[in-house]
Structure 1
Amino acid sequence: MTEQVSAAELWDTRYRESERIWSGNPNKALVREVSDVEPGTALDLGCGEGADAVWLARRGWSVTATDVSQVALDRAAGHAAEENVGDRIDWQWHDLAVSFPEGAFDLVSTHFLHSHGEMPRERILRTAAGAVSPGGTLLIVGHSGRPTWEVPPDFDVELPASKDVLAALELAPGEWEVQVCEEHERPHPAPDGSPGMWVDAVVKVRRR
């Protein structure tokens, strides 16, 4: 079995656990950071069930959305059809460790691109930066450390701070404007319902 098939099967199995895994709402950081950006072409990496892609399409963006799970992509396409924006979104299957969507985009966005097993996240994010058009924006949001209630960790994956995400991009000096590089706390209850918190690392850079 190849690593590519393994990643797809892992996430297909995860999505088959429930008719809906995520809330169906766009990520708050996307809404906060992109609401005032003029719509153009967007690339959504690791789109899951498609809430971010649908939100962008409803605001006038032409979206390419990709995920390693065909189950998630099929579900996302159904969501887009229900919202009458299916014609504005190109759903593409990719294992980003192996293949990447072609083209350049005014916005490249990825939220919580974390996975069990081996995934070259830093290399993928550098490729994502290369897909940003001149004048375009790269938005990266991920977990920064473990949730307050997770002891011990339930999976082994690096969850870097925003400054480390930015450094790993290895952006060419003078070609980029750093607009956001910071942490945001987000309430997230523990599985037993007790209060908890995730901290998200948010990096937003604009190609000059």
Structure 2
Amino acid sequence: MTDDITAAEASPSDGYLGDPAVRAEWDNRYADRRQLWSGQPNGALVAEIAGLTPGRVLDVGCGEGADAVWLARGGWDVTALEVSGVALERAAGHARDAGVDVRWVHATLTEAGFAPASFDLVSAQYPALLRTPEASAERALIAAVAPGGVLLLVHHAGMETREADDSGFDPADYVWPSMVTALLTEDWVVEVDERRPRVVPDGGAGAHHTDDVVLRARRLR
């Protein structure tokens, strides 16, 4: 990893950068279950980066670390970002068990402060990125990608158009792939923008979702 990545590169026990309420919400979700996700890398990630030369990767919303560990095993230099300290502790344990090195960042994407154009791959698999009037999260995803690099954003299909429900979920609160696509300039080429059947790992939350929206875009310069 080059020295131009200036985010707070925290271990799971270090200080958190971001809204405490967001951290508390996700800590509570993870604390409710011994393991929230399947422990397997996301199928769309595995499919979409086949053939890419390993380099510097940012895993946005790394959860319990399955993608980060898989990427590190594949030779990628991994920085993994997560708001939940509970999830990061689990992720760090999985990385130790696998014998791989991952740089953990305990922060929201908008507060992490990554230097622009720092990563050859930015992967956001089913992220819960909150919208702002300035489109801060969308712009942070785009800005993090180095020239020649790839942005891979995968989300559950159909979520964007759902109605707000009694659980407190409102699609209007979150960033969806179409919002990121709308901000891409002539410096980008969209290589994949489609809905497809989801490759669902056995076990873990979210297994009821059957289709993905996959956005893969490459920064030209």
TM-score norm. by structure 1 comes to 0.81
Greater relative contact order: 1 or 2 (C-alpha under 8 angstroms, separation 6 or more)? 2
Identity %: 42
Question: Residue 53 of structure 1 aligns to a residue in which SS?
Answer: helix
Distance 1:90 1:96 in 2: 15
User: Size of the alignment, in residue pairs?
Assistant: 191
Indicate conservation of the 8 Å contact 1:146/1:198, yes or no: no
CA displacement 1:123-145 (0-9 Å, x = unmatched): 31221111111111000111222
Partner residue, 2:5 = none
Give the 3 Å change call, closer, same or farther, for CA 69–28 of structure 1 in structure 2.
same
Partner residue, 1:95 = 108
Partner residue, 2:203 = none
Displacement, 1:18? 1.1
Give the 3 Å change call, closer, same or farther, for CA 137–71 of structure 1 in structure 2.
same
- 2:160 is equivalent to residue 136 of structure 1: no
Give the 3 Å change call, closer, same or farther, for CA 134–187 of structure 1 in structure 2.
closer
Partner residue, 2:86 = 71
Partner residue, 2:195 = 183
Match of 1:201 among 209, 213, 219: 213
Displacement, 1:199? 2.6
Displacement, 1:119? 4.2
- 2:170 is equivalent to residue 156 of structure 1: yes
The worse-fitting range, judged by mean Cα deviation, of 135-144 and 195-204 is 195-204
Distance 1:153 1:35 in 2: 40
Kindly report the root-mean-square deviation, in angstroms, between the aligned alpha carbons of the 2 structures: 2.7
The worse-fitting range, judged by mean Cα deviation, of 137-146 and 24-33 is 137-146
Displacement, 1:95? 1.9
Partner residue, 2:50 = 35
Indicate conservation of the 8 Å contact 1:70/1:93, yes or no: yes
Segments of structure 1 that go 5 or more residues without pairing to the other structure are 189-194
Partner residue, 2:33 = 18
Give the 3 Å change call, closer, same or farther, for CA 14–37 of structure 1 in structure 2.
same
Give the 3 Å change call, closer, same or farther, for CA 92–4 of structure 1 in structure 2.
same
Give the 3 Å change call, closer, same or farther, for CA 66–178 of structure 1 in structure 2.
same
Distance 1:107 1:140 in 2: 11
Name the amino acid aligned to 1:185: P
Distance 2:108 2:210 in 1: 26
Match of 1:110 among 124, 127, 130: 124
Distance 1:28 1:166 in 2: 21
Question: Residue 109 of structure 2 aligns to a residue in which SS?
Answer: coil
Displacement, 1:39? 0.2
Indicate conservation of the 8 Å contact 2:138/2:175, yes or no: no
